[in-house]
């Protein structure tokens, strides 16, 4: 059996970082898949389109929204695959589907091929936000799991920015070949990476789990730290086995589990309804409106690059500060600032409609602030919480169901935002998003527990009411008396 050695100083975190970087390459590839729509939809609808006749608005709308529709199913499939076949094989499969997406686009210019290719994006999308956070959490030390967990958003946004740039530099086919190379290289490199220690313990491969932990932590297999961490994993799995109920039944019937599930679902949906998705789609119009009379003229792809750079800056900020600030303060501040920015943006539209003097730079600034807050707090913290608040048995199902619900909301927003904004007024939409963000900030302060450096048991114990804690204490005392 393969033995994992370490080559850095004892206790070094380099191997964990290396593993997480490779885990997140599919996320980068997925970000490129989503970002591809920005430069290429403009090209495919232009008179210089490599496809004749050019695509219509309806066809582009379906291409943009179909991954979110497919992801409702693939979230559950990838969650099941990760639990059944392991995190490693699930990630390799996600990369294979990502490569297949680009192969289909290279093979045909027919509309059905575009829709099929975009539908295949649903698998790497699920891999990016279901399997990858689980995998990352299970290989990371508590002291850095927040920083490593937030890298999923950094790689996603960097993937977006990457394809914005190459889409502005290279021709249509060259972009496709570059994007296809990303998941292909990942499949080859990831063969060398270890499976999650938690999954190895679950499948009875204790010796292999010890070797993987020793490699990840850069310690000897006999090190007390490795033995303690292995025992913690085994204890977590023993606690899971004590419940004979199915995962979904346990979540719905156990008060603490359901309370925890409700928190992560609310945070996840609040992030989806914070306005980031429609803001990114409406960015072109806002840039056009605000640039009138200023001499600032940006092409649609240059606008996308500006927002992509803001997203990368926000996600970089999150990964560098999340361990120092904690999850709760960072999520509260970004929700609050995002809500105030959305309301300011809505007020700018109202002022413009009434002919009042409104600074042309204000919508651009508020737009960038909203995007920065989303990528620095709302996105990464919602992903981190999903992995930190549940044990191994429930982690896959929780991530699959919350991401599936988020996919439904994202799909509906993509489909109905513009018609509703045109009928009700764009300011109403942004006031709605702003209020959602402000309510989310209040919810975070009142309900969300801090998860930094805490075990699943400690987090769920904090969610118990005083009455539940007192009842549990009495039961323990009674059991001691019986013994």
- 258-276 confidence digits (pLDDT tens): 999 999 999 999 888 888 7
Q: Which two tokens stand for residue 28?
A: 């980068």
pLDDT cut 70: percent of the chain above it: 91
Confirm whether 10-193 and 245-483 share one CATH topology: yes
Q: What is the mean pLDDT of the chain?
A: 84
Q: pLDDT class for 324, splitting at 50, 70, 90?
A: confident
User: Average pLDDT, stretch 217-233?
Assistant: 90
Task: Please report how many Cα atoms fall inside a 13 Å half-sphere around the Cα of residue 149, on the Cβ side.
Answer: 31
Whether residue 299 is predicted with pLDDT greater than 50 in this model: the reply is yes
pLDDT of residue 403: 85
User: Average pLDDT, stretch 26-48?
Assistant: 83
User: Average pLDDT, stretch 263-292?
Assistant: 74
* Tens digit of each residue's pLDDT (9 = 90 or more) over 49-107: 888 888 887 887 788 778 888 888 898 899 889 889 999 999 999 999 999 999 999 99
Q: pLDDT class for 2, splitting at 50, 70, 90?
A: very low
Whether residue 365 is predicted with pLDDT greater than 60 in this model: the reply is yes
Least confident of 31-35, 224-228, 362-366: 362-366
pLDDT of residue 1: 41
* Tens digit of each residue's pLDDT (9 = 90 or more) over 118-151: 999 989 988 888 899 889 989 998 888 888 888 8
pLDDT of residue 19: 93
Identify the helix (H) or strand (E) that includes residue 236. Answer: helix 224-241
Whether residue 245 is predicted with pLDDT greater than 70 in this model: the reply is no
Least confident of 14-23, 38-47, 295-304, 349-358: 295-304
Q: Are 136 and 151 in contact (CB under 8 A)?
A: yes
User: Average pLDDT, stretch 7-34?
Assistant: 87
Predicted TM-score (pTM) of the model is 0.82
DSSP string, 262-321: HHHHHHHHHHHTTSHHHHHHHHHHHHHHHHTTTT----HHHHHHHHHHHHHHHHHHHHHH
> Quick check: bond before 53 cis, omega within 30?
yes
CATH class of the 10-193 domain in this structure: mainly alpha
How many Cβ atoms from other residues are within 10 Å of residue 11's Cβ? 12
Q: pLDDT class for 240, splitting at 50, 70, 90?
A: confident
Least confident of 235-244, 314-323, 349-358, 383-392: 235-244
Q: Is 7 exposed, middle or buried (0-12, 13-18, 19+ CB in 10 A)?
A: exposed
Identify the helix (H) or strand (E) that includes residue 145. Answer: helix 145-149
Q: pLDDT class for 284, splitting at 50, 70, 90?
A: low
Q: Domain ranges in the chain?
A: 10-193, 245-483
pLDDT of residue 337: 94
CATH class of the 245-483 domain in this structure: mainly alpha
Greater confidence (436 vs 304) lies with 436
User: Average pLDDT, stretch 7-36?
Assistant: 87
pLDDT of residue 289: 56
User: Average pLDDT, stretch 452-464?
Assistant: 84
């Amino acid at each position: 059996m393969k033995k994992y050695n370490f080559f850095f100083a004892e206790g070094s975190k380099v191997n964990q970082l290396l593993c997480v970087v490779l885990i997140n390459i599919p996320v980068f590839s997925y970000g490129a898949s989503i970002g591809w729509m920005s430069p290429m939809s403009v090209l495919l609808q232009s008179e210089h389109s490599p496809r004749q006749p050019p695509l219509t608005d309806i066809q582009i709308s379906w291409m943009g929204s179909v991954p979110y529709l497919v992801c409702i199913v693939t979230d559950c499939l990838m969650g099941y695959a990760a639990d059944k076949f392991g995190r490693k094989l699930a990630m390799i499969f996600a990369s294979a589907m990502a490569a297949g997406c680009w192969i289909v686009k290279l093979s045909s210019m027919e509309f059905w091929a575009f829709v099929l290719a975009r539908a295949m994006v649903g698998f790497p999308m699920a891999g990016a936000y279901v399997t990858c956070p689980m995998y990352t959490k299970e290989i990371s030390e508590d002291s850095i799991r927040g920083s490593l967990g937030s890298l999923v958003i950094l790689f996603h946004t960097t993937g977006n920015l990457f394809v914005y740039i190459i889409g502005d530099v290279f021709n249509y086919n060259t972009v496709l070949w570059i994007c296809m190379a990303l998941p292909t290289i990942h499949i080859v490199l990831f063969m060398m990476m270890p499976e999650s220690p938690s999954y190895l313990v679950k499948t009875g491969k204790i010796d292999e789990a010890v070797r993987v932990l020793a490699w990840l932590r850069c310690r000897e297999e006999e090190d007390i730290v490795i033995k303690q961490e292995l025992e913690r994993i085994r204890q977590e799995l023993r606690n899971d086995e004590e419940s004979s109920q199915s995962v979904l039944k346990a979540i719905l019937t156990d008060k603490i589990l359901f309370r925890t599930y409700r928190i992560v679902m609310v945070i996840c949906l609040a992030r989806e309804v914070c306005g980031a998705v429609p803001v990114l789609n409406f960015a072109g119009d806002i840039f056009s409106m605000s640039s009138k009379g200023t001499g600032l003229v940006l092409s649609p792809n240059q606008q996308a690059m500006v927002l992509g750079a803001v997203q990368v800056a926000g996600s970089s900020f999150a990964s560098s500060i999340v361990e120092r600030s904690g999850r709760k303060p960072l999520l509260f501040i970004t929700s609050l600032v995002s809500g105030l920015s959305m309301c300011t943006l809505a007020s700018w539209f109202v002022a413009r409609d009434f002919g009042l003097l409104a600074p042309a730079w204000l919508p651009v600034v508020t737009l960038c602030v909203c995007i920065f807050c989303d990528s620095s707090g709302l996105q990464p913290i919602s992903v981190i919480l999903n992995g930190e608040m549940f044990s191994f048995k429930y982690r896959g199902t929780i991530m699959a169901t919350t991401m599936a619900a988020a996919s439904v909301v994202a799909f509906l927003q993509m489909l109905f935002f513009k018609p509703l904004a045109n009928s009700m007024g764009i300011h109403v939409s942004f006031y709605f998003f702003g209020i959602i963000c402000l309510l989310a900030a209040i919810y975070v302060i009142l309900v969300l527990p801090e998860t930094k450096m805490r075990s699943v048991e400690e987090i769920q114990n904090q969610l118990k009411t005083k009455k539940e804690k007192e009842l549990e204490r009495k039961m323990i005392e009674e059991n001691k008396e019986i013994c």
